[in-house]
Amino acid sequence: MARIVKKFGGTSVGDLDRIRNVAKRVAQAVNEGHEVAVVVSAMSGVTNQLVDYCRTAAPMHDAREYDTVVAAGEQITSGLLAITLQDMGIPARSFLGWQIALKTNSVHGAARIEEIEPEALEACFKEGRVAVIAGFQGIADDNRITTLGRGGSDTSAVALAAVVSADRCDIYTDVDGVYTTDPRIVPKARKLNKITYEEMLEMASLGAKVLQTRSVALAMKHGVRTQVLSSFEDLPGTLVVGEEEIVEQEVVSGIAYSRGEAKVTIIGLKDTPGMVSGVFAPLAKHNVNVDMIVQSASDNSQTTDVTFTVPEDDLKKTVKVIEENRDTLDYKDLGYTGDVVKVSVVGLGMRSHAGVASKMFDTLAEKGINIQVISTSEIKVSVVIDAEYTELAVRALHTAYGLDQA
Ligand code: ASP
Ligand code: MG
């Protein structure tokens, strides 16, 4: 007997037939003798619709009321799944965030979980009743409803699994696991049986959209064994686990890419203390999340060039902020483009293997792809290239690191 938290995403609960399909899976696990709690997302498309209502009602709306509106989708699916389970003879009840209670801070729209009371869930396990919990939502100190940010029900599920010391957290979605890269652009991509938390964290934050990045960080922190699997097929998925569970570590486990990037270059910035901070302090103040940063060594002219990347959605704001500070920064020229993509190779094995980065550069050079920015960490190498070459680069790298399916 195991204790399992199962989370079903928007497409898995997209209509009543699909909810019945979910209920069957839950019933099967219950009948096998497991203790099961379920977390649900809203039906696919519903949260977008709710967000849209708020924006249309008033572009500058009260974030507390936004949360009241957008949390509604999960209320519907949690109740419907409980009804369907009961109809199949499985004792079940729904819980909204405040009813468990899942307590968060009061950063509406992107709240962080502070505490979860395990009592309600423990009582359900004891009575043999399935708790169906509305994902994505919680309650702040002032009793207002909060939401955890888009895709947040993954995080709800992992947090609940941690709090009740579940043996596993199963995340059911519309793909059957984590792949070596996006199978839509590389047909030879392979499904991974296992991947480490660290690698999954990099893959998620570098553009792989299977799990919300925060949920992976939380799973890593609490050692929650997390499985990504399909709600439409009866196949084992990918287990996200600690390093010690992986027998032989691949040097490179996956290739990620992220299209929503933009590159900004400031040319001829004076090479004196305070200039770089003069660029990035105002950006931080405007909440622009800067990613890669490269500063060239200055030549005798005593100026330097600084290149960095920002989310494409923030490009306009970034350019505006820098131009507003032109007088103090005293740079020669400003260049920018949104036509770039960040491609990354990820693997724990590169901690102990040399040559991973140079293989990446060789492979891209062979294809005639110019590298514009490079950044590395212990377990990843990322480059920024022209967006036009995304598919070519990802396919070539996938082959070069021996990831192609036989
Ligand atoms: N329904 C929410 C969203 O669409 C939360 C989730 O699906 O995880 O972002
Ligand atoms: Mg989702």
**Which tokens belong to 249?**
């570590």
Q: Which ligand has the shortest distance to the CA of 43?
A: 1
Is it the case that residue 303 has pLDDT exceeding 80? Answer: yes
Is it the case that residue 158 has pLDDT exceeding 80? Answer: yes
Q: How many A from CA of 116 to the centre of ligand 1?
A: 20
Q: What is the pLDDT of residue 361?
A: 97
Domain-located, residue 283 = no
Helix, strand counts (H, E) of the chain: 14, 18
SS3 164: coil
Residue 266 sits at the vertex; the CA angle it makes with 261 and 268, to the nearest 5 degrees, is 160
Domain-located, residue 13 = yes
**Which tokens belong to 388?**
């036009």
Domain-located, residue 45 = yes
Which CATH number does the domain housing residue 157 bear? 3.40.1160.10
Domain-located, residue 36 = yes
> CA-to-CA distance for 264 and 112, rounded, in angstroms?
31
Domain-located, residue 182 = no
Pocket test for ligand 1, best of 41, 154, 174, 214 (most atoms within 8 A of CB): 41
Q: What is the pLDDT of residue 159?
A: 98
Selected residue with higher pLDDT from 144 and 295: 144
Q: How many A from CA of 158 to the centre of ligand 1?
A: 14
Which residue's alpha carbon is at the smallest distance from atom 9 of ligand 1? 150
Q: How many A from CA of 48 to the centre of ligand 1?
A: 9
Residues contacting ligand 1 via CB (< 6 Å)? 9-10, 41-42, 47, 73, 135-136, 150-154
Q: How many A from CA of 211 to the centre of ligand 2?
A: 8
DSSP-assigned letters across all residues of 86-123: HHTT--EEEE-HHHHTEEE-S-TTS--EEEE--HHHHH
pLDDT confidence bin for 206, thresholds 50/70/90: confident
For the whole model, what pTM was predicted? 0.88
Domain-located, residue 10 = yes
SS3 148: coil
Number of domains, the chain: 1
Mean pLDDT over 149-173 rounds to 97
Nearest in space to 332 (alpha carbons), one of 274, 265, 262, 276: 265
Q: What is the pLDDT of residue 374?
A: 94
Domain-located, residue 392 = no
Domain-located, residue 297 = no
Domain containing residue 53: 3-174
Amino acid identity of residue 359, one-letter, is K
> CA-to-CA distance for 4 and 224, rounded, in angstroms?
11
Average pLDDT over the chain reads 95
pLDDT confidence bin for 52, thresholds 50/70/90: very high
Amino acid identity of residue 18, one-letter, is R
pLDDT, tens digit, 9 for 90 and up, residues 2-40: 999 999 999 999 999 999 999 999 999 999 999 999 999
